[in-house]
Amino acid sequence: MNPPTLGLPAYARITANYWAFTITDGAIRMLVVLYFHQLGYSALEIALLFLFYEFFGIVTNLTGGWLAARLGLNTTLVSGTLLQIGALLLLTVPEAWLSVAYVMFAQALSGIAKDLNKMSAKSGVKLVAGDVQGRLFRWVAWLTGSKNALKGLGFFVGAVLLYTVGFRVALVILAGLLVLSLSLAVLRLPRGLGRVGGKPKFTQMFANSPAINVLSAARFFLFGARDVWFVVALPVFLSATLGWNHLQVGAFLALWIIGYGIVQAAVPTLIVRKGLDPTGLTARVWALVLMLIPVGIVIALETGLDPGLVLIVGLGVFGVVFAINSAVHSFLILDYAEADRVAMKVGFYYMANAGGRLVGTVLSGWIFMTHGLIGCLIASSAFVFAAWMLSSLLPRGPAPGPGVVRS
């Protein structure tokens, strides 16, 4: 049973913790990429530092949704925040200890923490939004959009802290921010939020409607398309090829993610007519638009235009359209999921999301080393093409009942 004190206060606490966590997540990503590039690590080695971060995101989303259904979202939120504090502090050891294996372990903890927190926050929105028409789409778009804007801020915070106070002091500051969030937001949420009556079996994680399975597969390719060029290839290209310093790289990527988050939060106003929610057809149309953008960037780079200008403009357009795609997907999974099993369905869906990030991250390092940024952009378009094909199987109308794939 969910407690009666749900609604805006609970949503505000969920959002506040998600904001604090997101700043640290973006900051630690930028700190690790820039610091270890500074130490002489190759693009592939930097990508491998995030291998366990993404892999354990897959495991966490799969098991985390099940645990949240049995123990409540409060438990998974607290656990995720504590794990992130531990992951940050693990990296404050002397430089000689920072082997690839050690950093991969710390990043594994961070990946578990991130996906516990995200799965809990997104599931919590479904439970506190109620049945008011359009509220779920607005609230999930705002949560996701503001999160991404703050992740961009986190990129900038990470770059500034590295530039001003150094790697280890930066990590301690970020851990302190999470301690504050834990005490002020997470511990004040209603007890038992999202707990399911009885003892749901782990195998129920896979008992999804065809629509959820198809949407999860499309999500895999959508986020692989972003990370295959954004995570490692782009910051290393800006630093090593264009000669940007750490602060410039961090500021540019931060502004991109902030803008991406603002667009994502505004998607309900931008693309949806009053009283209507997105459908599978919406997802397919916007995937087609997204697929054309990396191809356009490749053509512009091959014609000899200034690469810095091409990337700034191209990445801006990509960010706007990707934000729309992501917001539509984030709504559809909550729309398709049953309220009494939402954590399990969202966990399964974000397992696919983490899988796409894992594949995209590894390919970002490998393809950049073998075929450069152009190769990464071509791979990005191929990934979006797969997401577009899968989106054609989604229902064109409102949320389907069990066993329904297309209208």
| Stretch 59-71: mean pLDDT | 72
Greatest Cα-to-Cα distance within the chain, rounded to the nearest angstrom: 63
Average pLDDT, the chain: 80
Closest Cα partner for 59 from 358, 362, 360, 383?
A: 358
Lowest-pLDDT choice from 58-72, 74-88, 363-377: 58-72
pLDDT at 221: 96
Domain that holds residue 204: 8-391
Evaluate whether residue 405 is within a structural domain: no
pLDDT at 225: 94
| Stretch 62-85: mean pLDDT | 78
Alpha helical stretches, state H, 72-199:
73-90, 100-129, 135-164, 167-184
Q: Higher confidence at residue 41 or residue 373?
A: 373
| pTM for the predicted model, two decimal places | 0.71
How many domains does the chain contain in total? 1
Burial class (CB in 10 A: 0-12, 13-18, 19+), 290: buried
Q: What is the pLDDT of residues 266-319, one digit of tens each?
A: 887 777 665 567 888 889 999 999 999 999 999 999 998 898 899 889 988 998
pLDDT at 364: 87
Evaluate whether residue 398 is within a structural domain: no
| Stretch 383-393: mean pLDDT | 95
Evaluate whether residue 62 is within a structural domain: yes
Q: Higher confidence at residue 24 or residue 205?
A: 24
Closest Cα partner for 336 from 178, 253, 200, 215?
A: 215
| Stretch 237-262: mean pLDDT | 82
Instruction: Inform me whether the pLDDT recorded for 5 exceeds 60.
Output: no
Q: Higher confidence at residue 236 or residue 346?
A: 236
> Could you give the percent of the chain with pLDDT greater than 70?
81
pLDDT at 341: 63
Evaluate whether residue 3 is within a structural domain: no
pLDDT at 4: 41
pLDDT at 229: 87
> Could you give the percent of the chain with pLDDT greater than 90?
21
pLDDT at 196: 53
Q: Higher confidence at residue 196 or residue 113?
A: 113
What is the pLDDT confidence band of residue 398, given thresholds at 50, 70 and 90?
low
> Measured between alpha carbons, how far is 266 from 275 in angstroms, rounded to an integer?
16
Evaluate whether residue 33 is within a structural domain: yes
What is the pLDDT confidence band of residue 386, given thresholds at 50, 70 and 90?
very high
Q: Higher confidence at residue 407 or residue 298?
A: 298
pLDDT at 131: 57
Listed ranges 102-116, 121-135, 147-161; the one with the highest mean pLDDT = 102-116
Q: Higher confidence at residue 387 or residue 180?
A: 387
What DSSP state is assigned to residue 357?
H
Q: Higher confidence at residue 41 or residue 110?
A: 110
Sign of the dihedral through C-alpha 242, 290, 379, 37: positive
CATH number, residue 145 = 1.20.1250.20
Evaluate whether residue 2 is within a structural domain: no
Evaluate whether residue 401 is within a structural domain: no
Evaluate whether residue 38 is within a structural domain: yes
Contact (CB, 8 A) for 336 and 215: yes
